[in-house]
Structure 1
C-alpha cells in the first residue's frame, strides 16, 4: 500500500519537511504495527502541511492571508474529490488508500482544515468555549482520525480522543504563549485575562507577576482536568489498542508538569521534554500497558 510522505508534501509546498523524528508524536507512533504506522505518518504529513499553511502567518498581512486561504481551498477541494470518487491530485491520491482502509469520515479532515483556517481570520478568543471549539478543529479531529487507524473497539473511545485533543492543544497553547504573541496571536481567553486582572499589554511586555502566575495556575488546572476527563472514557481492554495515544498523553502531561515546575514562567525559555525523557516515558508506558493487558486477560 502506498502512502503519501512528508518529503513529497514538502516538495509540493516548496518548504522544508517537518522534522517528524523530533516531534512528540514520533515516540508514541513508533510502537505501532508497520501498516498503521505508515498510515499515521501519511495523515501526519497531511495535517502538518495544513497547519504549516497558517502557522507563522502575520495576522495583519492581508496579501499573505489571502494566498494562504487559496491554498487551504485547494486542499479542501482535494479532500472532497477523494470522497466523491473524482480524480484527485497525484500528490494526495495515496491518502485515498488510508481513508478506504480505515474508513475515516470526511468530516474529520474538513473540520481540521476549517479549524486551521480560523488562524487566518482570528487571533483572539473571547471565551474558553470559543477557544475549545478551535481546539476541537485543530486537535480533537486528529485524535479522531488516529483512533480509526488504531482500530478502537468502543464508541466512547471517541470521547477519549476528543478530550485528549483538548488537553494536548491547550498544553501547546500554554507552552507557546510567548512565540504566539510574537506573531500576533493570544489564545488565552479574554475572559480569563480579565478575571485575573492581567492585560494584553502586560503579556506583550512579558510581565511575570503574581497575577500572571494565578492566571497560569488556573489554565494548567483546567488542562489537567481534560487529561483526567479523557482517561475516564478509556476502557481497560481498549488500552492496548490505544497505547500510542496513551504514550502521547503521558509525554504531554509531563510537559504540563514542567510548566508548573518552572513556576509558570514561559517567558524565560521554551519549556520542553527532553528526547531521552520522551523515550523513557514511551518505554515505561508501553511495558506497563502490556503487563496490564496480560493481567487483564488472566482474569477473564
Structure 2
C-alpha cells in the first residue's frame, strides 16, 4: 500500500504528539516500551496516550457528568477507529497498530468502562466489583499490550489476566492516602467486615487499627496473581515468545519491587508513598536483561 505524502506527514505529526505525551507522563512503563521494535513501540506509545487521556478525564473532570461526557466522546472515537476512521493524533497513531496486531475493540471499551467506575468514586466495593474494576483498568490494558508485544496466545491472555490484577492491587495498596483524598476506597467490603472496620469513610478507614490486617489480606491475593503471572511468563518464553515477554518482565520487576516494599512497610503509615529511585529502576532493568540473557543461553 502506497501512502500519500500528506498522510505520512499527518501520521508523523501524530506520533510526535503521542511521544511528547508519553515523555511528559514519565511513566514507569516507558522503559518496558523501549525494549520493543519501532513499530510495536510506536503502537504502545499511542496506546499509552489513549490510556492516559481517559484516566485524566476520570480523575480531573470537575463533575462526574463532565467525565461521563468526555468518556462518551472517546467511546465514539474508539468505535470509529475500529471502523478505520481516525480523527485526532492518538487515534491516527493507533490505527496502524489496530490493523497490524489485530487489537480488539472490546478491550478499549472495557478500559473506558473502568474509567467510568473511577469517575463516580468507588468506595469499599464487594470483591466481585473490585475484580471487575481490576479487569477493566488493568487486565484489559494487558490484553491489548501482549498482542502488541507479539504474543497472541491464550497463555498471553492468561498472563494479562493475572499480571493486570497484580499490578492494580499493588496500585491500590500503594495509593491508599491519595485515593482517600479523592473520596475513593478500593479495599473490599468483605475484608473490611472481616476485620471489624465499621466505617466506609475513606479517611476514617485509613486511621482504623485494623487497616494493616485488611491490607495484608489483599496483598496475599496480589501475591497469588504475581505467582500465576510468573508461571505464564515462563510458559510463553518456553514456547518461543522470549522477545514478547521482555516488556512484561520489566514491568513485573518494577511493580514487584514496589509490592515487596509495601509488604515490608506493613501499611503502618499509609500516607507514605512507596517509590523507587532512578538508580533502583536502572538496577531492575539490568537485572531483567541479565535474566533474559541467561534464559536464552540455557534454552
Shorter-chain TM-score bucket reads: 0.7 to 0.9
How far apart are the structure 2 equivalents of 1:56 and 1:145? 25
Q: Which moved more, 1:265-274 or 1:47-56?
A: 265-274
Deviation at residue 282 of structure 1 after TM alignment? 1.2
How far apart are the structure 1 equivalents of 2:113 and 2:151? 25
How far apart are the structure 1 equivalents of 2:134 and 2:164? 7
Partner of 1:66: 65
How far apart are the structure 2 equivalents of 1:172 and 1:121? 18
Give me the CA root mean square deviation. 2.2
Partner of 2:52: 48
Deviation at residue 261 of structure 1 after TM alignment? 1.3
How far apart are the structure 1 equivalents of 2:146 and 2:263? 29
Asked if 1:289 is matched to 2:275, the reply is no
Partner of 1:221: 220
Deviation at residue 208 of structure 1 after TM alignment? 5.8
How far apart are the structure 1 equivalents of 2:33 and 2:109? 23
Matching of residues 87-98 of structure 1 within 5 Å: 87-91=85-89, 92-98=91-97
Which of residues 3, 21, 34 is equivalent to 2:38?
34
Partner of 2:146: 147
Partner of 1:263: 266
Distance 1:202 1:8, change over 3 A: closer
Partner of 2:116: 117
Give the TM-score, by structure 1 length. Answer: 0.87
Structure 2: state its 5+ residue gaps: 1-7
Contact 1:6-1:42 within 8 A present in 2 as well: no
Partner of 1:184: 183
Q: Deviations over 1:151-207 (max 9, x none)?
A: 115321110111100000110011011110111000001111111112436851442
How far apart are the structure 2 equivalents of 1:116 and 1:228? 27
Distance 1:27 1:266, change over 3 A: farther
Deviation at residue 45 of structure 1 after TM alignment? 0.5
SS at match of 2:207: coil
Partner of 1:169: 168
Asked if 1:278 is matched to 2:277, the reply is no
Matching of residues 187-206 of structure 1 within 5 Å: 187-200=186-199, 203-205=202-204, 206=206
How far apart are the structure 2 equivalents of 1:32 and 1:84? 27
How far apart are the structure 1 equivalents of 2:60 and 2:96? 31
Contact 2:123-2:202 within 8 A present in 1 as well: no
- Of Structure 1 and Structure 2, the greater helix share is in 2
Distance 1:231 1:261, change over 3 A: same
SS at match of 2:154: coil
Partner of 1:245: 248
How far apart are the structure 2 equivalents of 1:271 and 1:78? 36
Structure 1: state its 5+ residue gaps: 11-16
Partner of 1:13: none
Distance 1:101 1:202, change over 3 A: closer
How far apart are the structure 2 equivalents of 1:233 and 1:35? 25
How far apart are the structure 1 equivalents of 2:95 and 2:50? 12
Deviation at residue 46 of structure 1 after TM alignment? 0.7
How far apart are the structure 1 equivalents of 2:221 and 2:287? 26
